[in-house]
Structure 1
Amino acid sequence: MKYFKLLIILVTMLSACTETPNKEDETTIIEFANIPGNEKGIETFQMAKTEVTNQQYVDFLNAAYKKGEVTIGEVEPLKQNSAEPFVPENLAKQMLGYKSKNQQLVFDKNGRRILDLLNIRMTGDHGYDGKTDRWEMKNPLNRCMIEFDGKEFKVVDPKKVNWNIYFDNSNLPNGIVVADKITNWGELHDFWPENKELSNREIVSFDKGDYDDNAIFAGNFDLDLKLPTIEEVKNWPIIYIEYYSAKVFAEFYGYDLPTIEQYKWVVDAGKGYKYGTSDGTINTENCIYNGHSIKNDYTKLPKGGLDHTQWPGQHKGHVQAVDLLAPNPFDVYDLSGNVIEWTQSKNKPEYKCRSKVSSEYETYITVSSGWTYPEEYASYDKLCFTETNVGATNDHFGFRVVKNNKKIEPIEFANIPGNEKGIETFQMAKTEVTNQQYVDFLNAAYKKGEVTVGEVEQLDEDQLLFAGHKSKNQQCVYDKDDNRLVDLLGIRVTGDHNHNGKFELWEMENPLNRIMIEFDKIDEEFSVVDPKDVDWTIYFDKKNLPEGIEPVDNIMNWAELHQFWTSEKKINTEQIVTWNYGNYNSDVLFAGHLDLDAELPTLKEVKNWPANHIEYYGAKAFADFYDYELPTLSQIQWAGAGGKNYEYATNDGTINSENVVYSGHSFDEYPKGEKRPKDGGQTQKPQVPNFSKFPGKDKGHVQEVASFPPNPYGIFDLSGNVYEWTKSTLSDYPNAIDRTGNDTEAYIRIGGSWNYYDEAQLLITKEAKNTGAHRGNDHFGFRVVKNN
Structure 2
Amino acid sequence: MNSSIQIHVLFFVLLLSIGCKEDKSTVSRSEETSQRSEKQQFSSQDTTVIKEKPKGVKTPEGMVWIPGGIIEQGAVPQDKMAMKHEKPAHTVAVDGFFMDITEVTNAEFKKFVDATGYTTVAERDIDWEEMKKQLPEGTPKPPDSIMQPGSLTFKKTESSVPNLYDFSQWWQWTIGADWKHPDGPQSSLVGKENEPVVHIAYEDAVAYCEWAGRRLPTEAEWELAAQGNHSESVYLWGDDASQLSEKANTWEGEFPVTNTEADGYNKRAPVKSYPPNDFGLYDMAGNVWEWTGDWYNSGYYDEVAAENTILKNPEGAKTPFNARDPYAKEKVMKGGSFLCNASYCASYRISARMATSPDSSLEHLGFRTVATLGMVTNKG
In the superposition, the TM-score normalised over structure 1's length comes to 0.28
In the alignment, structure 2 segments of 5+ residues that lack a partner are 1-59, 71-91, 136-144, 261-265, 303-320, 374-380
> Judging changes above 3 Å, is the alpha-carbon distance between structure 1 residues 443 and 742 closer, same or farther for their aligned structure 2 residues?
farther
Distance in 1 separating the partners of 2:246 and 2:122 = 41
Residue of 242, 245, 250 corresponding to 1:657:
245
SS of 1:763 mapped into structure 2: coil
Residue of 109, 122, 134 corresponding to 1:438:
109
> Judging changes above 3 Å, is the alpha-carbon distance between structure 1 residues 657 and 509 closer, same or farther for their aligned structure 2 residues?
farther
The higher-RCO structure (CA 8 Å, 6+ apart) is 2
Say if 1:650 and 1:709, in contact at 8 Å, map to a contact too. no
Q: How does 1:301-340 map to 2 (within 5 A)?
A: none
Distance in 2 separating the partners of 1:443 and 1:651 = 41
> Judging changes above 3 Å, is the alpha-carbon distance between structure 1 residues 435 and 620 closer, same or farther for their aligned structure 2 residues?
same
Say if 1:661 and 1:702, in contact at 8 Å, map to a contact too. yes
Say if 2:292 and 2:332, in contact at 8 Å, map to a contact too. yes
SS of 1:492 mapped into structure 2: strand
Cα drift, residue 664 of structure 1: 2.1
Distance in 2 separating the partners of 1:441 and 1:752 = 25
**What letter corresponds to residue 659 of structure 1 in structure 2?**
K
Q: How does 1:254-653 map to 2 (within 5 A)?
A: 412-420=62-70, 421-446=92-117, 457=125, 460=128, 462=131, 472-475=146-149, 489-494=150-155, 515=177, 517-518=179-180, 529=181, 535=186, 603-604=190-191, 606-645=192-231, 646-650=233-237
Cα drift, residue 728 of structure 1: 1.5
Cα drift, residue 650 of structure 1: 4.7
Distance in 1 separating the partners of 2:279 and 2:338 = 22
> Judging changes above 3 Å, is the alpha-carbon distance between structure 1 residues 456 and 729 closer, same or farther for their aligned structure 2 residues?
closer
Distance in 2 separating the partners of 1:713 and 1:744 = 34
SS of 1:649 mapped into structure 2: coil
Matched, 1:782 2:367: yes
> Judging changes above 3 Å, is the alpha-carbon distance between structure 1 residues 657 and 513 closer, same or farther for their aligned structure 2 residues?
farther
Cα drift, residue 778 of structure 1: 1.6
Deviations 1:577-633 (A, max 9, x none): xxxxxxxxxxxxxxxxxxxxxxxx9823x1111111211111111112211011111
**What letter corresponds to residue 474 of structure 1 in structure 2?**
Q
SS of 2:223 mapped into structure 1: helix
Cα drift, residue 443 of structure 1: 2.2
Distance in 1 separating the partners of 2:359 and 2:323 = 12
Residue of 270, 276, 283 corresponding to 1:710:
276
Say if 1:663 and 1:757, in contact at 8 Å, map to a contact too. yes
> Judging changes above 3 Å, is the alpha-carbon distance between structure 1 residues 510 and 730 closer, same or farther for their aligned structure 2 residues?
closer
Residue of 720, 736, 740 corresponding to 2:286:
720
Say if 1:456 and 1:473, in contact at 8 Å, map to a contact too. no
SS of 2:64 mapped into structure 1: strand
SS of 2:94 mapped into structure 1: coil
Aligned counterpart, 2:348: 761
**What letter corresponds to residue 418 of structure 1 in structure 2?**
G
> Judging changes above 3 Å, is the alpha-carbon distance between structure 1 residues 650 and 417 closer, same or farther for their aligned structure 2 residues?
same
**What letter corresponds to residue 412 of structure 1 in structure 2?**
G
Distance in 1 separating the partners of 2:167 and 2:101 = 39
Distance in 2 separating the partners of 1:503 and 1:744 = 16
Say if 1:724 and 1:783, in contact at 8 Å, map to a contact too. yes
> Judging changes above 3 Å, is the alpha-carbon distance between structure 1 residues 456 and 628 closer, same or farther for their aligned structure 2 residues?
closer
Matched, 1:752 2:336: yes
Structure whose CA Rg is larger? 1
Cα drift, residue 445 of structure 1: 2.1
Distance in 2 separating the partners of 1:747 and 1:453 = 16
Distance in 2 separating the partners of 1:702 and 1:441 = 21
Aligned counterpart, 2:30: none
> Judging changes above 3 Å, is the alpha-carbon distance between structure 1 residues 452 and 429 closer, same or farther for their aligned structure 2 residues?
closer
Q: Work out the number of aligned pairs and report it.
A: 251
> Judging changes above 3 Å, is the alpha-carbon distance between structure 1 residues 733 and 710 closer, same or farther for their aligned structure 2 residues?
farther
Over aligned residue pairs, what C-alpha RMSD do you find? 4.4
Say if 2:122 and 2:178, in contact at 8 Å, map to a contact too. no
**What letter corresponds to residue 636 of structure 1 in structure 2?**
W
Cα drift, residue 747 of structure 1: 1.3
SS of 1:436 mapped into structure 2: helix
> Judging changes above 3 Å, is the alpha-carbon distance between structure 1 residues 513 and 701 closer, same or farther for their aligned structure 2 residues?
farther
Deviations 1:101-121 (A, max 9, x none): xxxxxxxxxxxxxxxxxxxxx
**What letter corresponds to residue 644 of structure 1 in structure 2?**
H
SS of 1:702 mapped into structure 2: coil
Say if 2:122 and 2:151, in contact at 8 Å, map to a contact too. no
Distance in 1 separating the partners of 2:171 and 2:229 = 37
SS of 2:93 mapped into structure 1: coil
Distance in 2 separating the partners of 1:744 and 1:643 = 35
Distance in 2 separating the partners of 1:639 and 1:777 = 24
SS of 2:371 mapped into structure 1: strand
Q: How does 1:7-406 map to 2 (within 5 A)?
A: none
In the alignment, structure 1 segments of 5+ residues that lack a partner are 1-409, 466-470, 476-488, 519-528, 537-600, 670-693
Aligned counterpart, 1:596: none
Cα drift, residue 742 of structure 1: 6.2
**What letter corresponds to residue 364 of structure 2 in structure 1?**
H
Tell me the percent identity. 25
> Judging changes above 3 Å, is the alpha-carbon distance between structure 1 residues 787 and 733 closer, same or farther for their aligned structure 2 residues?
farther
Distance in 1 separating the partners of 2:240 and 2:121 = 42
Cα drift, residue 460 of structure 1: 4.0
In the superposition, the TM-score normalised over structure 2's length comes to 0.54
